[in-house]
Chain A
């Protein structure tokens, strides 16, 4: 088993090999220390081909494709701010005032790819792609043309999360039925209440 270079080296290799690609490292705080690389949409396909065919990396096996839903988050924090306040005698005085600050982070959908190498027997290298938001811009480039193993799993992410993979050869629902409208794995999905009582005149009953 050959050792895999650290994730920063892989980032440098990508930036040297695919001109114009913007790659950033997303570090992982858990003991597993599996850090990942965030790719831009325009170069994702080129980066994937580069990683697959690079003579040292040879990531020929895309094991896992995962959809992840990150909701809009709003964090509130109380901050002490120094302000100049008019004192009763007319002079200005500096006092500390507490303010609540809200920071909004827009949500997004994410596709995570776990890559391994069957030839070099190393891995995983983790790639991430993020959509601009969760509502109207949910397109990502498909990596099925590079790794066939993404075919069913990208369909599943489309089915359950609503991520539209551009360039996928056969993007249909896979686990839910045709005609189903919602995306059940999203965090804000509300299942329909099948037991809800409906009132009204019953059919076929003649009073």
Chain B
């Protein structure tokens, strides 16, 4: 501490020095090119401003320049871990805008791929969160072993592991085979054992509890007011799952519960993911049991020359990260006049500072890890 500083400050506000730290953009804990301007008093955070835009390519403008169909592969690259969910969000908005119905079988396959996506996202997130906590390697590799099998399924279905480009407004690009469904059933049969194993590895771990319980607490009212959605919101005890609220697709046919936390800390957010993985398995089992035969695409839909009537529509889904919405304005031409993404991980970052104030700098890392951000979506 410099003696001079104290002399200049007779009432003693500056007893300790404020240090400014720029965490990122290339820091392993920021999960991509993301920066936090942190002001520290000792090890305590007194100010934190997230800085992003490093991956900004003006996704919305690109989509406004192309036809409705040509935006679908770009949506894969928003949240590049959950391309199937992004496809669905966009297709739902176009279907609302143009009044397109989706065949029964396509709805079932949509649910199956979206829930598989949710499973691999949550498994991956838990792995990364523990990696941030110092559990180097093992949990992440456990998660990735399972994720790999799901990506294999996506590859045999759509031709791509991550950039699937699989859904179309009015249905799907290709049908799945019976063999694919059998392979999926086999995998889904094994998933509960994986979740048990994963939980046993971590749940009673003393270090994990000490690090996460009471860390990064988000009050319930602030979470609602700040538009936080997804597992982060439900960890605060707010029962809001768009699958249950909107019943988009055919989610009203499945029985599943919405896990809720009550402390809103990092531990609850972590547990939300584990519990949601179990519910996801339940939905998958039901969908795989009752999937009907039939067409996967409405033959009347003009994929290439779609010209919706002038108007607007907002479609939203419960993506693994939260509420993923697409807002489209049509002026009657072949490309959208306005195309807007509601990026859940960017809006969930609004309260990052509120969660981190007064905490140690080491806890900022796991608080950010529990938000679950993907920079492809934050920056667009």
A62, A152, A184: the one contacting B346 at CB < 8 Å is A152
- Flag if B97 contacts A174 (CB, 8 Å): no
Report if A114-B314 is in contact (Cβ < 8 Å); known contacts: A30-B309, A30-B330.
yes
Mark out the residues of chain A between 101 and 157 whose CB falls within 8 Å of any chain B CB in the assembled complex. 112, 114, 118, 121, 124, 126, 147-149, 151-153
A63, A112, A160, A176: the one contacting B325 at CB < 8 Å is A63
- Flag if A31 contacts B98 (CB, 8 Å): yes
- Flag if A66 contacts B52 (CB, 8 Å): no
Q: Which residue of A lies closest to B313 (CB)?
A: A32
CA distance A30 to B96 in the complex (A): 8
Q: How large is the interface on B (under 10, 10 to 19, 20 to 34, 35 or more residues)?
A: 35 or more
CA distance A112 to B337 in the complex (A): 14
Interface string of B213-231 (1 = CB under 8 A from A): 0000000001011111000
Number of A residues near B (Cβ < 8 Å) is 33
Q: Which residue of A lies closest to B379 (CB)?
A: A175
Query: In the complex, what residues of A have CB within 8 A of residue B340's CB?
Result: 64, 66
Q: Which residue of A lies closest to B226 (CB)?
A: A148
CA distance A17 to B60 in the complex (A): 37
Query: In the complex, what residues of A have CB within 8 A of residue B351's CB?
Result: 148
Interface string of A14-30 (1 = CB under 8 A from B): 00000000000000111
- Flag if B227 contacts A149 (CB, 8 Å): yes
A30, A60, A176, A185: the one contacting B312 at CB < 8 Å is A30
Report if A148-B222 is in contact (Cβ < 8 Å); known contacts: A63-B323, A63-B342, A176-B53.
yes
- Flag if B52 contacts A61 (CB, 8 Å): no
What are 30 A-B contacts defined by CB distance under 8 Å? A29-B309, A29-B310, A30-B96, A30-B97, A30-B98, A30-B308, A30-B309, A30-B312, A31-B99, A31-B309, A32-B313, A32-B314, A34-B312, A61-B224, A63-B227, A64-B325, A66-B327, A147-B226, A148-B225, A148-B351, A149-B225, A149-B228, A152-B347, A153-B347, A174-B52, A175-B53, A175-B379, A176-B56, A184-B61, A185-B61
Using CB atoms and an 8 Å cutoff, list the residues of chain A in contact with chain B.
1, 28-32, 34, 60-64, 66, 68, 112, 114, 118, 121, 124, 126, 147-149, 151-153, 160, 174-177, 184-185
Known: A124-B314, A174-B52, A176-B56. 4 other contacts (CB 8 A): A32-B311, A60-B225, A118-B240, A175-B53
Those 8 A-B pairs whose CB atoms lie nearest each other, nearest first? A149-B227, A30-B311, A31-B99, A32-B313, A175-B53, A148-B226, A29-B311, A32-B96
